Amino acid sequence: MPFSNSKLTRDQLLARFFPGFRPAAPQAHCGLSGGSGIIEKGQQRYVLRQHHDPHAPEFHFLRQYHLLRRLPATLAPAPIFYTPGWMVVDYLPGEVKITLPDSRPLAQVLYHLHQQPRYGWPVTLMPLLESYWQHCSPARRTPLWLRLLTRLRKQGQPAPLRLAPLHMDVHPGNIVYTANGLRLIDWEYAGDGDVALELASVWADEHRRRELVAEYAAVARIPPDDLWRQVQRLRPWVLMLMAGWYECRWQQTGDGQFVAFADDVWNQLKIKQQER
């Protein structure tokens, strides 16, 4: 697979390594975000992904390419090409829906992922939380944010119930319903961590999360009460991750929707504070 020491523009990359390919018309595909898009040549299609996070080192992007090489086709798209700043992966034909799958098939695909060999790098939550604080707009740093960040720092990340390779961004837009079953896309935040952290991070309301945890506990043979308690321990960490990510995306893009999303999460955290 060709590698290059200099970053290319999209057009340079296509001309040099994918002659005859052109960008496809924009599509309503929620997984194609952050500088990603489809390229096509006749009936052949790939997804072109760009390393878009200015605060993440290039090796984070490269290791995403390597983890995709190790994952089976029953879980993820196959990687095709990597060069600094760009990655090309196979296009998965199928449907992306606006709601999560039923809890049982979702639990099964997550358990299938968690049975794979570990990647070799951990999901460490506190460095991420501190990075979001540092790179957000100073005007958005509230006493609530600082108070919650300080509390989590003192508590420390909960000891894992069961370590496994995680996806860490499971939401409807990152799940493709293919003819051969569910597949996960957009592995940018993947790392090794507690299976309960994966379940705590799935974009679901509490009712759906309870259902998912119960289904996962059954297939993974974990006592459901133990798993639910661990998920609940990790939820404040996940909510802080979400709020911080939205804050940084607003700082990077100026898109007001990210402020609205962040405010919604801060309100959830405020309510949880009042319930303590």
Interval 76-104: pLDDT, tens: 999 999 999 999 999 999 999 999 999 99
Q: pLDDT band at 26, cuts 50/70/90?
A: low
Mean pLDDT lowest among 9-23, 31-45, 174-188: 31-45
Q: pLDDT digits over 219-260, tens only?
A: 999 999 999 999 999 999 999 999 999 999 999 889 999 999
- Is 190 a residue whose pLDDT tops 50? yes
Q: What is the pLDDT of residue 189?
A: 93
- The DSSP string of 78-107 is PEEEEETTEEEEE---SB--SSPPPHHHHH
- Is 2 a residue whose pLDDT tops 80? no
- What's the token pair of residue 176? 């493709």
CB 160 within 8 Å of CB 79: no
Q: What percent of the chain has pLDDT over 90?
A: 84
CA-to-CA distance for 241 and 251, rounded, in angstroms?
Answer: 15
Surface-to-core class of residue 186, CB atoms within 10 Å of its CB (0-12 exposed, 13-18 middle, 19+ buried): buried
The per-residue pLDDT of the chain, averaged, comes to 91
- Is 214 a residue whose pLDDT tops 80? yes
How many Cα atoms within 13 Å fall on the side-chain side of residue 2? 10
Surface-to-core class of residue 206, CB atoms within 10 Å of its CB (0-12 exposed, 13-18 middle, 19+ buried): exposed
- What's the token pair of residue 177? 């319903």
**Within 10 A of 246 (CB to CB), how many other CB atoms are there?**
24
**Within 10 A of 32 (CB to CB), how many other CB atoms are there?**
21
Higher-confidence position of 178 and 5: 178
